[in-house]
Structure 1
Amino acid sequence: MVFGHLDKERGDMATESWISLTCRVLGEGKALPHAERNTDAVTFHGEGPVWSSRWGGLRWVDMLAGDVMSLGADGTIGRRHVGGAAAALRPRRGGGAVIGVERGFALEDADGTLTHLPELWADQSVRMNDGGCDPDDRFYCGSMAYDKTTGAGALYRLDPDGSTAVVLDGVTVSNGLKWSPDDALAYYVDTATQQVAVFDYDRASGLTGRRTFVSIPEEDGAPDGLTVDAQGGVWVALNQGGEVHRYTPAGVLDEVVEVPVRGVTACTFGGPALDELFITTSREGLAPGDDPSAGSLFRAAVGVKGRPVREFAG
């Protein structure tokens, strides 16, 4: 992907000025190391972080700006505009990326050429929001109404041959989607439900047997993006809660990462050993000058490792 650069920056911050966030363990165990604010507030609505060695590190989106962001090993931040909204992305097996854009999908080739596929709908009040790849290397992205109209969204699947399918309908705010390490379960968030749902999964049947994995009290924030670690733990970003929660495969809350920004949107594992949790944040709903750290990227060492990102086969 061809990016414009914002300077050679970690934003404009020096390392010594990075803001810490704390991570605590619930129950027995030692407190986990503190994490750091990793950039300035370089996004308005940061979302969808993805680490891939194929593209040299971390990418994420400034969703409502329609931009894909990149973080170089030297701290350089890149930005590329891809459409009216940039919802989610994953690496392609042959290089480049598949991207959920405002009303459909786009494919980036290894040389940076960007091709928008036909729009999936014409209604300008609805946009894509979040997504990911399944164990069979197909890309999913879910939608929502800009005004969060109940049931206006859906979850779409893009197959490697370019065909698309509606997997779920009647969704309000389609958000995080990740699979368990054994590929048998898929965890999914429709934010309006205040729940993380879990499905059974196989290629032939797809997502079946939807049930509640965990319910999130409203006072804790709204479930947003999520990721799954190598042990099967489910990490959920709590928007307006200023935290990321880890749940065991049994649905027991066992760790909390406190972030000094209320608008916590998504998280992923990255770094060369996949042992760092990268956390995106948002300025959405804030007045100018409020919460100057909002929109920054944060990073935490949380004592477990993630898994390599699934690539799109198309």
Structure 2
Amino acid sequence: MKADVAVAAENILGECPIWCGRTQTLYWVDGRAPALHALDPAGGGTTRFAMPETIGSICLTEKGDLLAAMTTGVFRLSRGGVLGAMVFAREADQPDNRFNDGRCDRRGRFWVGTMNDKARIATGNLWRIGPDLAATRMAGDIIVPNSLAFSPDDRTMYLSDTYRHEIHAYDFDIDDGTLSNRRLFADLHDRPGRPDGSAIDAEGCLWNAEYAGGRVVRYRPDGRIDRAIELPVSQPSCCCFGGPALDELYITSARQRLSPQELAAQPLAGALFVVRPGVRGLPEARFAG
């Protein structure tokens, strides 16, 4: 499988690609040169909307706008890049924390993690924000939360701690929105890459971007890797399925902390890539609040 360049974006930290089936638009963010990006694949046009602070992730909503998980809180965000009301503020007792990866479950709840942005210490938490805007802490002791994804049968949730080099799986109760039976799903300690953002395909396999590893790998539900997509950049960061048939895999990447020599060797660092992996994804769930 060969990854093509969809947008030569030069993102500092491209993250969280999301496909909107209603508008046939791909959204993603640049976390560190904070911005929301939108791509119309049919027409080829892209739009960039600057954000006022670091942005970790976005999600679609039933109302037609977005949620944006940023440094100080989770906000409503129009498709035109206008920041609206705050939905949930970061932890008052952790002023160095910011919001990072997030994803909606199929009951319209937004799950989002926080991380310490000043030091790689385990002050982060996983939060569940319900349609009524009530927020519940679901897990703690996290350094960098990533890889949030839900299995097609809504019985498993995945979550990585990037700086612990591990992806964990939880039993997930879709009715109650609760987690149990945390277990190790993938151990990356013996690999150069660390587990970053993920996507689930229709067969229940987890596609994970290995940051600093230069590839995206596909895990079967039992944790075995059955294929990998090698990329011309070292820092793939996240992926999602898109396109009218959900048969295209979009992959964001980063160029942060690369030396001038590394950037010269990776002129596509920070680009948005696309590949046809031979499987389909699932429609992205939307926040119901």
* Higher share in strand: 2
TM-score range relative to shorter protein:
over 0.9
Structure 1, gaps ≥5 residues long: 1-22, 24-33
Deviation at 1:141, TM superposition (A): 1.2
User: Where does 1:55-134 land on structure 2 (aligned, <5 Å)?
Assistant: 55-73=23-41, 74-109=43-78, 113-117=82-86, 119-122=89-92, 123-134=94-105
8 Å CA contact 1:82–1:101 kept in 2: the answer is no
In structure 2, distance between residues paired with 1:37 and 1:178: 25
In structure 2, distance between residues paired with 1:153 and 1:129: 10
In structure 2, distance between residues paired with 1:85 and 1:141: 15
8 Å CA contact 1:200–1:208 kept in 2: the answer is yes
- Equivalent residue number for residue 180 of structure 1: 151
Deviation at 1:187, TM superposition (A): 1.0
Q: Aligned pair in 2 of structure 1 residues 125, 110: CA closer, same or farther (>3 Å)?
A: closer
Aligned residues: 282
8 Å CA contact 1:152–1:170 kept in 2: the answer is yes
Residues 136-180 of structure 1: per-residue CA shift (max 9 Å, x gap): 210111111124422111112221112212111111001111100
Pick from 171, 190, 193 the counterpart of residue 164 of structure 2: 193
8 Å CA contact 1:94–1:110 kept in 2: the answer is no
TM-score by length of 2: 0.92
In structure 1, distance between residues paired with 2:209 and 2:81: 31
In structure 2, distance between residues paired with 1:50 and 1:111: 15
- Equivalent residue number for residue 19 of structure 1: none
- Equivalent residue number for residue 279 of structure 1: 251
Secondary structure at the aligned position of 2:249 is classed as strand
Deviation at 1:54, TM superposition (A): 2.7
In structure 2, distance between residues paired with 1:148 and 1:111: 33
Q: Is the deviation greater in 178-187 or in 46-55?
A: 46-55
TM-score by length of 1: 0.85
> What fraction of aligned residue pairs are identical, expressed as a percent?
35
8 Å CA contact 2:105–2:150 kept in 1: the answer is yes
Secondary structure at the aligned position of 2:191 is classed as helix
Deviation at 1:113, TM superposition (A): 4.8
CA RMSD of aligned residues (A): 1.7
In structure 1, distance between residues paired with 2:23 and 2:126: 26
The residue type equivalent to 1:82 in the other structure is: M
Structure 2, gaps ≥5 residues long: none
Residues 91-121 of structure 1: per-residue CA shift (max 9 Å, x gap): 1101111111112201135776531315223
Deviation at 1:182, TM superposition (A): 0.3
Residues 181-240 of structure 1: per-residue CA shift (max 9 Å, x gap): 100001111112211110011132611111011212343410000111000011110000
Pick from 260, 269, 279 the counterpart of residue 294 of structure 1: 269
In structure 1, distance between residues paired with 2:254 and 2:80: 30
Deviation at 1:311, TM superposition (A): 0.5
The residue type equivalent to 2:142 in the other structure is: V
In structure 2, distance between residues paired with 1:130 and 1:194: 16
Secondary structure at the aligned position of 1:192 is classed as helix
Secondary structure at the aligned position of 2:163 is classed as helix
User: Where does 1:156-305 land on structure 2 (aligned, <5 Å)?
Assistant: 156-202=127-173, 203-204=175-176, 206-288=178-260, 289-290=263-264, 291-305=266-280
Q: Aligned pair in 2 of structure 1 residues 128, 55: CA closer, same or farther (>3 Å)?
A: farther
Residues 4-59 of structure 1: per-residue CA shift (max 9 Å, x gap): xxxxxxxxxxxxxxxxxxx3xxxxxxxxxx22011113311001011012343100
Deviation at 1:264, TM superposition (A): 0.8
